[in-house]
Structure 1
């Protein structure tokens, strides 16, 4: 009997970690590859005369628009089908989008498939981690969430290393290779999703979490502000090193590689920290570290410090995600049915502010004659505000 119990526990643990692997595969396909692998592909698309530069930029916006649509509709999809069914369908859709983009039939064709890849990414971001983490013990959810979102970091790293190597074989071949990787990850994840959605735990008395609504609204604002703080590095870091500091394109690529290495480790370290300290304190540490890292290029050109800045901001680009998801679940522990909806709103707010910041900072950069340090200063201000909001709510709840 004792051996049977142990075997059931071991089997359960194995199933949980298969789910975590499925979640990591989903984040790698939907965000890591579908979004970040497109960054080095864009110059190649223009260079191969698939589309002119004046229209090619809109293809990146198509993915972001699809991402918003996917984040907004994920909850509706999950209410009309099992989460595992939706997740499998979204990974298949992302794979098909890679295949379709290997053939530049027309701008509309490309736009539609890039939009669909964004829908898949948004839905995967909203549904994959909550579906898996509902089956993970609370004491391990931080690290498990970190493993799931490490897929984003792997995609960022691949965008600066593997994709440029693939492009030597040709643009069509690169899209097909990405499709094959996506197909492989889809097969890995296929039977890893939980066999059934987790049953909802018994509700906790409402007064036990009276501060949750205010704290939750504050968390949405903090996460959106964090998106603004990440944009200067995500968009301008390479250009700042290459042209702003006059170090050249190769040096810029080296800093992006450091950014990618940080992105691989970031979710794992952030999740481990959350398991030790709780998600609230871990978030405050994250805001503070990002604030310091984003401030570095605003005040100095020291190469060593800029390397540290690249790694730290790279780490929290995906690393902030499991922290916020874990905090959402903490604040709504008394109302688990609302957790996916709240995470969807948080994801949507992050995407909207990130897009607005990207366009806004690009406009300011152009109108200021190329003032890089102003962009990083704005990122610092956004992160300072996020930390201030978090601390004020924490103090108010005491």
Structure 2
């Protein structure tokens, strides 16, 4: 909860802070703070100490997500936006996969070792990022709209915002219950559940690239709703069967969901000018966080009442399908 609150706060303050100090300078500072917070979490000084640093990591993550997506979507050529945005979410997916492999092994050596290992990985990522954006020309950084300027909330953008809210609701069932469903619901055991979560991690790293290819083929206007529908089918697949092939397909399609966020960022840029991207991406990320909070509060209550995994997956699949309807270009492909 502390981490999520920090993430929301970081998303909120990202735009005014970037206007005052510059996007690349702010990204450098928060990257350094992220590594510091991970390393500090290794010191066993109680809940308040850990809570502070976890909140700080959430805050820096919120700033990084808003500004990185805004900068990439703003500056990439229109034909390459899906691919460019995919770099961000492929990195997220790769991190999910790597932590799934590294953290259990680090934990065997103690909790402090695990935190320090994550800090070391964060330091390596920070140095790579700083090397990358130091080489970016200053002109490539979009000038944000004035703090008092109105954000152009057209109806297509509002529907994208609502669609992203339902997207976040839709991915919570698998996030919370997929491994439990496999291990206990289908009595396949934790080893099988862990295997499927590894499949999710691999798909998370590869999903952005596959959806970027779809965006290049169809254009983001139609690739985005098609991706929503495909993910909805994957999330709802356990309703049809518990066969191994169906379960594998569900893990792969759910795992690919970071790619949809990349398409979303590219589609927002299609509908808005570069100067408005930081604020629009902040709104999108806050909408996503809101959907996750709602689902995280409501779905466990539904599960406690029904003890039905399948019902939870049905809700997730329906939410994703609804999101697909909302983001479809009913009024035309362009603005």
TM-score band, normalised by shorter chain: over 0.9
Query: Residues 135 and 178 of structure 1: is their aligned pair in 2 closer, same or farther, counting only changes over 3 Å?
Result: same
The match for 2:296 among 358, 375, 378 is: 358
1:109 has 2:109 as partner: no
Structure number with higher relative contact order (C-alpha < 8 Å, ≥ 6 residues apart): 2
Please name the residue that 1:227 is paired with: 168
The match for 2:85 among 115, 134, 145 is: 145
Q: How does 1:187-336 map to 2 (within 5 A)?
A: 187-193=127-133, 194-196=136-138, 198=140, 213-316=154-257, 318-332=258-272, 335-336=273-274
Query: Residues 163 and 396 of structure 1: is their aligned pair in 2 closer, same or farther, counting only changes over 3 Å?
Result: closer
Distance 1:156 1:90 in 2: 21
Distance 2:251 2:176 in 1: 12
Q: What is the RMSD of the two structures over their aligned residues, measured on CA atoms?
A: 2.1
The match for 1:383 among 292, 301, 320 is: 320
- Quote how far apart the aligned CAs of 1:217 are: 0.2
8 Å contact from structure 2 (residues 172, 296) kept in 1:
yes
Query: Residues 241 and 88 of structure 1: is their aligned pair in 2 closer, same or farther, counting only changes over 3 Å?
Result: same
8 Å contact from structure 1 (residues 160, 253) kept in 2:
no
Q: How does 1:63-142 map to 2 (within 5 A)?
A: 63-142=3-82
- Quote how far apart the aligned CAs of 1:144 are: 1.7
Q: How does 1:153-168 map to 2 (within 5 A)?
A: 153-168=93-108
8 Å contact from structure 2 (residues 42, 113) kept in 1:
yes
- The unaligned stretches of length 5 or more in structure 1 are 1-60, 202-210
What's the secondary structure of 2:242's corresponding residue? coil
- Quote how far apart the aligned CAs of 1:191 are: 2.9
- Quote how far apart the aligned CAs of 1:388 are: 2.1
- Quote how far apart the aligned CAs of 1:67 are: 0.7
8 Å contact from structure 2 (residues 303, 312) kept in 1:
yes
- The unaligned stretches of length 5 or more in structure 2 are 144-151
What's the secondary structure of 2:132's corresponding residue? coil
- Quote how far apart the aligned CAs of 1:214 are: 0.4
Please name the residue that 2:282 is paired with: 344
8 Å contact from structure 1 (residues 101, 113) kept in 2:
yes
Distance 2:297 2:60 in 1: 23
